[in-house]
Amino acid sequence: MIGAQDEHGGGMMADINITPLVDVMMVLLVIFMVTAPLLIPQSIGINLPKTAAIKSPQHPNKGRLAIDENGQLRMDNQPMASELLSKHLADKAQDEEYALSIEADDNVRYGRVAEVLAMARAAGVSKIAFVTVMNGKL
């Protein structure tokens, strides 16, 4: 007898081995799960307000200050205490080309944003921009 027969002895088995397909799909799933958060610039969970799109000037010496919904600060993706922010910005503001981008969560109190803006202005930062989302996309 050539070939495998099923239990009833009636004919050839025509099953497809899907184990390699499942293995490939699992590897692809893991790759997408690992890389997806890296593709989104807003991976720290800040909900930016939505506005119309404008082209902003590009500055090579640019700082990025994020304010989360609890008012916590992150300067260039590093946690920053409010007390240290003024000194850090004063050091950076020595360069006249330094520009600061503020990313404030949509739910943060306006007073907190105003405090941070006042600290930046007092530190000597003259180029300040607010980052927003255009039509739900960054």
Q: Look-up: residue for tokens 């890389």?
A: 35
- Distance, CA of 103 to CA of 79 (rounded, Å): 14
pLDDT above 80 (res 16): yes
Q: Which fold has domain 50-134?
A: Nucleotidyltransferase; domain 5 (3.30.420)
Pair of tokens at residue 77: 């993706």
Give pLDDT tens digits for 98-136.
888 888 888 888 888 888 888 888 888 888 888 876 655
Q: What is the end-to-end Cα distance of the chain in Å, rounded?
A: 65
Q: Is the pLDDT of residue 36 over 70?
A: yes
Model confidence pLDDT, tens digit, residues 38-61: 666 555 566 767 777 666 556 566
Maximum CA pair distance of the chain?
Answer: 91
- pTM attached to this predicted model: 0.53
Look up tokens 């899907």; give the residue.
18
